[in-house]
Chain A
Amino acid sequence: MDSNRLLDPTDAFFSTATVGRKKKTGTASGTRQLRGNYKKLLWFKQPFPDNYTDEKTFLDHLQRNPRLQPYEFWSLMADATVLVQHLASVAIFCCCFVAIIHGRVSPVAVVGWASLCTVLAWVVWDHWMGQELGAVNVPLKPTINASETSPEATPTLSPRTQQRLATAKSAVLIYAAVLGLSPILKSLTRSTTSDSIWALSTWLLMMNVAFFDYGGGTGAQLPASISTNSAMMASAVLASRLPSTTHVFSLTLFSIEVYGLFPIFRRQLRARSPWGHLVLTVTLVVAAWGGLFITLTGSGWGAFVAGAVLGGVLTFFSMGVCSWWLIGLQKYKNEIRGPWDPARPIIRRHWD
């Protein structure tokens, strides 16, 4: 900090040095007559009126955009994939629901494939955790880390098998709970019209998209709870429109997989393998647009291919345009910092 500049003015009147005091006072009165230098100080009377503005020192500590980091196009595009992935997974969920409620797809098939993918993802996850354990000799910290990032594992410092068991246990618990709750969910909104349900679930899914935690590396915790909760509620009210308990059970389980577990896997995947992340993004975008076109047109694989190609191109270009737009907007950024901002205290460590 160059704030020493504020402090250098000679203590003309009240110097502690008894020897130099008289001499300095003399010079001070001399400068007073000569309309000497203006000082940003309050404790002595300056030979200037109160509203005098010194052009040299006025606002000399002003900083504009001190921590500005110009965005780069490709890194912005890479960051945008996170957003696209989530939007695509929401779209896929909606398409699946429409397909189920129209009877085009069996709900068991949907949840079966989704569960298969979940199990595969969990295997990959388990492999990563093993790598992490192997990489670091001290097994204490990674275990804590793993138990934090994995939603189902109970926080324990025991070996991996125990952790796997815990995961399996909580999976079974969730399975059983959803199974038990399905009949209740089925009749949850019987007295409400479908229109209200569509409107409500639309708003809830929009909330999910708006409040989703797009940032953060692997260290970040579970996705923001308001986002997950609103998605869960949306799927609960949607499920209550379905005709049988099996349907309700399947859709609820599917939504837990899509909104609860999938984001955690995506986060981990992005941190671990950029290529895997890219492949997943492309797959999701293709599936989402294809599914959307099938749902909208009601026709078969032709619509899927057309949707995938058109949608993929559209997604890519809109990502590019938004990135350019953001970069263009950056020139309007005008962050003002100065001595009036509350200082950020720097504390070395917390006392314990």
Chain B
Amino acid sequence: MLYNIAMVSDNFYPQPGGVESHMYQLSSKLIDRGHKVIVITHAYAGRTGVRYLTNGLKVYYVPFLVIYRETTFPTVFSFFPIFRNIVIRERIEIVHGHASLSSLCNEAILHARTMGLRTVFTDHSLFGFADAGSILTNKLLKFTLSDVDHVICVSHTCKENTVLRASLDPLMVSVIPNAVVAENFRPLSPASTDPTHRKAPGPPQPMGPDAIITVIVIQRLYYNKGTDLLVAAIPHILAAHPSVRFIIAGNGPKAIDLEQMIERNVLQDKVLMIGPVRHEEVRDVMVRGHIYLCPSLTEAFGTVIVEAASCGLYVVATRVGGIPEVLPTHMVEFAAPEEDEIVEATGRAIAKLRAGKVRTELFHNQVKQMYSWTDVAQRTERVYDGISGVMSHNEFYQGAGAAAAWSATLGRAGVQSFSLIERLKRYYGCGIWAGKLFCICVIVDYLIYLVLEIFAPRSRIDICKDWPKKAFQDKDKGKERMKKKLINDTDESSGLLRKRSSRSRRQQREEQDES
């Protein structure tokens, strides 16, 4: 079935970042699969109004007060009128929020449920439970996720974290990893590095004992990225392995520490700091090296190490957060977040490369098979099918042998009821005080909705035309998909049903457009 999906987050292009690229890639792949996707974000400096990106992805830059690091001011209700307008204009069925710190996303999920829409939330980051900031964020997340249809997390660790933070039923949390565009992270072609130009990878070539091995580090130089570990480890690594060079890209408050370390140890000829690089230049930096070092202290997924492996680099990473799940062990050398362990692990990696035990030239194709955005879009589509009832409840929550265990949360996990009293029940359980406060918020939100329905009726809101290219992509892609489905003979009857439903939907839409 095809859906109209709105991706909502504070983080979107032109600002660079992981969430931003995730949203863009996922949206464009979903559009490829025939869905209609729009993105709602706040206005950036010099970027307001409505824009179309490649592939007909429509982006609404909503004017909003930005308070801190491109996060909007958390007003619980003020986003509702314009959000409602956009949702009705675009005939949105599923609201998909990203990033838990984005107040726009939190608000959108609340309002979407008030309006009776399906909601999905994707969590991209990990939070602790101890400090005051985390406690507040977690409470807010609990509020938002009390009434959400499904949650997507980027790694298993992230799933555990989110389940604990928001007291969710684990079955309504899916793990769908990030992906990389492997084509953008190719290693240097073998022709340029190897004049003999072997097509088939022959036996591994051991490196000479004095051949220069370059270690790449690309990260923002912040405390939580483990720059302190880097500062402590580099002199020891260089002392133990004289023919090693470092290239460090990135900027941040810890850059000064690195520079001081370089100067104190007189390593100017061995450690090269090249400052911040744009995301599209990351590959060009990566292919200059042999090892990628990731000393991060917390990481939900660690896209950068996948990118590094895709570029054919052997990865040395700290064993934190979701990093151990991301790559198979033959691509990574793990270390505890300790200075000595990092030195050791880097030493092991250097020794393996010198002995030719690692087939880094095979990494690119392997990574390409592991992660692709098309796969992510497919899996996300399954989530959409599950929450909108296209996929039967039992099929979606299969593996839940103990039906009794989740029947209590059926309201949350299943096809959710939109009735206000059911929603209030879910919010009320959030805490002694918080539960009541949240209920008041929800009731006010509902009243605002009623007021809006009276004073800004739906009939007065124009239905906007869909991106024309999409309409005929729909047919082709839809048919292709049907064919694939039939060939795979997964479930013929449901395939036919879907076909019919999508076709009827399209007809309806065309009628509406014409009228």
- Contact indicator B339/A343 (Cβ below 8 Å): no
Contacts of A341 in B (CB 8 A): 126, 128-130, 298
> Which residue of A is nearest B260, CB measured?
A351
Question: Is A19 an interface residue when CB atoms closer than 8 A count as contact?
Answer: no
- Contact indicator B171/A346 (Cβ below 8 Å): no
- Contact indicator A351/B261 (Cβ below 8 Å): yes
Question: Is A49 an interface residue when CB atoms closer than 8 A count as contact?
Answer: yes
- Contact indicator A340/B330 (Cβ below 8 Å): no
Given contacts A14-B330, A44-B370, A347-B232, contact A340 B298 (CB under 8 A): yes
- Contact indicator B337/A59 (Cβ below 8 Å): no
Contacts of A50 in B (CB 8 A): 152, 174-176, 379, 382-383
**What is the CB-to-nearest-CB distance from B176 to chain A, in angstroms, rounded to a whole number?**
6
Contacts of A61 in B (CB 8 A): 160
Question: Is B398 an interface residue when CB atoms closer than 8 A count as contact?
Answer: yes
Segment among A109-117, A228-236, A280-288, A331-339 that sits at the interface with chain B:
A331-339
- Contact indicator A16/B229 (Cβ below 8 Å): no
CA distance A335 to B320 in the complex (A): 19
Contacts of B293 in A (CB 8 A): none
Contacts of B156 in A (CB 8 A): 40-42
> Which residue of B is nearest A59, CB measured?
B160
Question: Is B493 an interface residue when CB atoms closer than 8 A count as contact?
Answer: no
- Contact indicator A335/B330 (Cβ below 8 Å): no
> Which residue of A is nearest B357, CB measured?
A16
CB 8 Å contact bits of A1-40 with B (1 = contact, 0 = none): 1010011000101111000000000000000000000001
CA distance A352 to B231 in the complex (A): 11
- Contact indicator A338/B298 (Cβ below 8 Å): no
**What is the CB-to-nearest-CB distance from B22 to chain A, in angstroms, rounded to a whole number?**
14
- Contact indicator B399/A336 (Cβ below 8 Å): no
Contacts of A44 in B (CB 8 A): 328, 370
- Contact indicator B298/A7 (Cβ below 8 Å): no
Question: Is B340 an interface residue when CB atoms closer than 8 A count as contact?
Answer: yes
- Contact indicator A7/B324 (Cβ below 8 Å): yes
**What is the CB-to-nearest-CB distance from A347 to chain B, in angstroms, rounded to a whole number?**
4
- Contact indicator A339/B321 (Cβ below 8 Å): yes
CB 8 Å contact bits of B344-379 with A (1 = contact, 0 = none): 000000000000011100000010001100000001
Contacts of A6 in B (CB 8 A): 319, 324-325
Question: Is B504 an interface residue when CB atoms closer than 8 A count as contact?
Answer: no
CA distance A285 to B332 in the complex (A): 64
Contacts of B126 in A (CB 8 A): 340-341
Question: Is A62 an interface residue when CB atoms closer than 8 A count as contact?
Answer: yes
- Contact indicator B399/A52 (Cβ below 8 Å): yes
Question: Is B228 an interface residue when CB atoms closer than 8 A count as contact?
Answer: yes
- Contact indicator A3/B330 (Cβ below 8 Å): no
> Which residue of B is nearest A40, CB measured?
B156
CA distance A327 to B163 in the complex (A): 30
CA distance A345 to B225 in the complex (A): 10
Given contacts A58-B160, A340-B157, A341-B298, contact A351 B175 (CB under 8 A): no
Number of interface residues of A (CB under 8 A): 41
Question: Is A190 an interface residue when CB atoms closer than 8 A count as contact?
Answer: no
CA distance A52 to B295 in the complex (A): 31
- Contact indicator A336/B129 (Cβ below 8 Å): yes
Contacts of A59 in B (CB 8 A): 160, 163-164
Contacts of B130 in A (CB 8 A): 335, 341
- Contact indicator B127/A340 (Cβ below 8 Å): yes
> Which residue of B is nearest A338, CB measured?
B160
Question: Is A328 an interface residue when CB atoms closer than 8 A count as contact?
Answer: no
* Residue in contact with A348 in the complex, picked from B328, B331, B339, B399, CB distance below 8 Å: B339
**What is the CB-to-nearest-CB distance from A288 to chain B, in angstroms, rounded to a whole number?**
34
Given contacts A16-B357, A340-B157, A345-B337, contact A42 B177 (CB under 8 A): yes
Q: Kindly name the residue among A16, A61, A62 whose own CB sees the greatest number of chain B CB atoms within 10 A.
A: A16
Interface residues of B in 163-198 (CB under 8 A from A): 163-164, 170-177
CA distance A339 to B170 in the complex (A): 17
- Contact indicator A339/B320 (Cβ below 8 Å): yes
- Contact indicator A62/B325 (Cβ below 8 Å): no
CA distance A342 to B297 in the complex (A): 5
Contacts of B175 in A (CB 8 A): 42, 50-51
CA distance A1 to B319 in the complex (A): 10
**What is the CB-to-nearest-CB distance from B42 to chain A, in angstroms, rounded to a whole number?**
28
CA distance A336 to B382 in the complex (A): 32
Interface residues of B in 272-305 (CB under 8 A from A): 295, 297-298, 300-301
Given contacts A336-B129, A343-B337, contact A7 B329 (CB under 8 A): yes
Contacts of A345 in B (CB 8 A): 226, 228-229, 232, 295, 297, 337-339
* Residue in contact with B161 in the complex, picked from A7, A51, A340, CB distance below 8 Å: A340
- Contact indicator B330/A16 (Cβ below 8 Å): yes
Contacts of A338 in B (CB 8 A): 157, 160-161, 164
CA distance A340 to B331 in the complex (A): 22
Question: Is A202 an interface residue when CB atoms closer than 8 A count as contact?
Answer: no
Question: Is B327 an interface residue when CB atoms closer than 8 A count as contact?
Answer: yes
- Contact indicator B328/A43 (Cβ below 8 Å): yes
CA distance A50 to B382 in the complex (A): 9
- Contact indicator B158/A340 (Cβ below 8 Å): yes
- Contact indicator A43/B371 (Cβ below 8 Å): yes
**What is the CB-to-nearest-CB distance from A11 to chain B, in angstroms, rounded to a whole number?**
5
Interface residues of A in 301-352 (CB under 8 A from B): 335-348, 350-352
Contacts of A1 in B (CB 8 A): 319, 336
- Contact indicator B327/A51 (Cβ below 8 Å): no
CB 8 Å contact bits of B393-419 with A (1 = contact, 0 = none): 000111100000000000000000000
Question: Is A48 an interface residue when CB atoms closer than 8 A count as contact?
Answer: yes
Interface residues of A in 189-214 (CB under 8 A from B): none
CA distance A107 to B34 in the complex (A): 89
Question: Is A225 an interface residue when CB atoms closer than 8 A count as contact?
Answer: no
CA distance A335 to B265 in the complex (A): 41
CA distance A11 to B298 in the complex (A): 25
**What is the CB-to-nearest-CB distance from A63 to chain B, in angstroms, rounded to a whole number?**
11
- Contact indicator A16/B232 (Cβ below 8 Å): no
**What is the CB-to-nearest-CB distance from A12 to chain B, in angstroms, rounded to a whole number?**
9
Question: Is B326 an interface residue when CB atoms closer than 8 A count as contact?
Answer: yes
Question: Is B55 an interface residue when CB atoms closer than 8 A count as contact?
Answer: no
- Contact indicator A48/B358 (Cβ below 8 Å): no
- Contact indicator A15/B325 (Cβ below 8 Å): no
Question: Is B334 an interface residue when CB atoms closer than 8 A count as contact?
Answer: yes
Q: Kindly name the residue among A42, A58, A339, A340 whose own CB sees the greatest number of chain B CB atoms within 10 A.
A: A340
CA distance A50 to B326 in the complex (A): 15
> Which residue of B is nearest A16, CB measured?
B330
CB 8 Å contact bits of A161-173 with B (1 = contact, 0 = none): 0000000000000
- Contact indicator A51/B297 (Cβ below 8 Å): no
Question: Is B495 an interface residue when CB atoms closer than 8 A count as contact?
Answer: no
Question: Is A221 an interface residue when CB atoms closer than 8 A count as contact?
Answer: no
- Contact indicator A351/B337 (Cβ below 8 Å): no
Question: Is A158 an interface residue when CB atoms closer than 8 A count as contact?
Answer: no
CA distance A13 to B368 in the complex (A): 13
Contacts of A339 in B (CB 8 A): 157, 160, 320-322
A53-B399, A352-B264 known, 19 other contacts, Cβ within 8 Å: A7-B324, A14-B330, A16-B358, A42-B156, A48-B399, A49-B396, A49-B399, A50-B152, A59-B164, A62-B160, A62-B164, A337-B129, A338-B157, A339-B157, A340-B127, A341-B126, A342-B224, A345-B229, A348-B339
Shortest 4 CB-CB contacts between residues of A and residues of B:
A50-B174, A340-B126, A343-B337, A346-B338
- 24 inter-chain pairs at a CB distance below 8 angstroms, sorted by A residue, are A16-B330, A16-B357, A41-B325, A42-B156, A42-B175, A42-B301, A42-B325, A43-B328, A49-B399, A50-B379, A51-B174, A51-B396, A335-B129, A336-B164, A339-B320, A343-B298, A343-B337, A345-B295, A345-B297, A345-B339, A346-B338, A347-B338, A351-B235, A352-B264
